[in-house]
Amino acid sequence: MSDQQQNQLWGGRFSESTDAFVQEFTASVAFDRRMYRQDIQGSMAHATMLAEAGVLTDDERDAIHQGLKEIRAEIEAGDFQWSVALEDVHMNIEARLTDKIGITGKKLHTGRSRNDQVATDIRLWLRDEIDLIDGELARLMTGLLDQAEREAATIMPGFTHLQTAQPVTFGHHLLAWFEMLKRDRERLLDCRKRVNRLPLGAAALAGTTYPIQRERTRELLGFDAVCENSLDAVSDRDFAIEFCALAALCVTHLSRISEELVLWTSAQFNFIDLPDRFCTGSSIMPQKKNPDVPELVRGKTGRVNGHLISLLTLMKSQPLAYNKDNQEDKEPLFDAVDTLAGCLRAFADMIPAIEPNREVMREAARRGFATATDLADYLVRKGVAFRDAHEIVGKAVAHGVDKKKDLSEMSLSELRQFSDQIDDDVFEVLTLEGSVSARNHVGGTAPDQVRAAVARGREVVNA
């Protein structure tokens, strides 16, 4: 490629060609070419609008459309020759279009700039990716609901400080994960509203003198609204920051879930089994079955958090309007999208395949004096002040620790040595089943409440 060809799209003002290293250093085509579909989509809409506004003829519009369709086919067939000398996806496609259809290809850029073009492409691309991520998130949430429904009455210990606290059901615990992801999905869909605004028409920074019809372009591209200030339209990247923020929250939730899965698959807990297809072995220890999927998802959290900080730092000192700094917006955003999508896909495949070890869970709840609070509540209902009841039960637990007996295993005479308010009916509240069933209110762990919450969850996912 000659110097003249290299600079054909913007080089009229320059007296020498770009330094070879600078050319490589400033090019973005190696990573922004993944937006080729959106770039072509935006260009076809722009050509349609220009023809309707009388800036292009119908024949010119049709030639541009046909040329762009052929270029899209070349790219998808792997026959397109990407050039670093042409810097980015936009100039590569425009140069190829001009090669194919001649001077008409040069008319496509009328009334726009790479500044509003790239801002439009990123929004189109991210909108598409959000829709794909939403599908994976909904699939994961459905898997959690299915598991929660199956395990609505499966008893396990609930923890605070990783110490046995009170009995809950496995289904109830899974629904806690569901609630985290439900909020993540709300944030994702809310972010989409602000992504779905059209920058095209802002041109370089001040708008254009051509009789463009931004509302028509908005309609053609399916945006909800246009960006109403040209300076802001080309320089805004807070939609990308917002996405990375919600992505960081979502992978943080997945990391918390991963931590529990890693603990629960250990021999010390043995609460669940993960199928072999989600695990790996050890090169030296033949007995090992490592929960690699949740471990890796847990590890990727820092990666997405880092992308959020990168974009915040990128934007913090930029004056209006567009600056070359903004070329650095794409790689963090692209990787945040890819990482979140991959984590969600892995979890959506894995969660339905979890196999709970129900008896192990139940025994763990039985061993940990999980019904101590139920005994305290029982005494309060008998008229004992709560603080006195707390002390009574504490002494009963100390006795149980000494005798290696759970509260439910003590005789009535043993229990009555701590309070004469304890009668035969105490054993109704000291069973694990009685404990979880007693919490029969919205948000409680009772099996009936878990099933009701699952039904509500399905309505949310399918809305």
Residues serving a catalytic function are 161, 282
| C-alpha to C-alpha distance for 227 and 196, rounded to whole angstroms | 10
- What the block records as the tokens of 261 is 């899965």
Q: Give the count of beta carbons closer than 10 Å to the beta carbon of residue 311.
A: 23
Q: Where are the alpha helices (DSSP H) in 159-291?
A: 170-195, 214-221, 230-235, 238-265
Nearest 5°: CA angle at 27, between 47 and 86?
A: 50
| C-alpha to C-alpha distance for 291 and 247, rounded to whole angstroms | 23
CB 378 within 8 A of CB 434: no
- What the block records as the tokens of 334 is 């692209």
| C-alpha to C-alpha distance for 231 and 320, rounded to whole angstroms | 7
What are the Cα distances from residue 374, in Å, to 172, 284, 341, 385? 18, 48, 43, 14
CB 167 within 8 A of CB 371: yes
State how beta strands 355-356 and 272-273 pair. Answer: antiparallel
| C-alpha to C-alpha distance for 124 and 113, rounded to whole angstroms | 17
Q: Kindly give, in sequence order, each residue whose CB lies less than 8 Å from that of residue 403, ignoring residues fewer than 6 positions away.
A: 410
What are the Cα distances from residue 167, in Å, to 134, 242, 261, 287? 33, 38, 18, 32
DSSP run (H or E) holding 75: helix 58-77
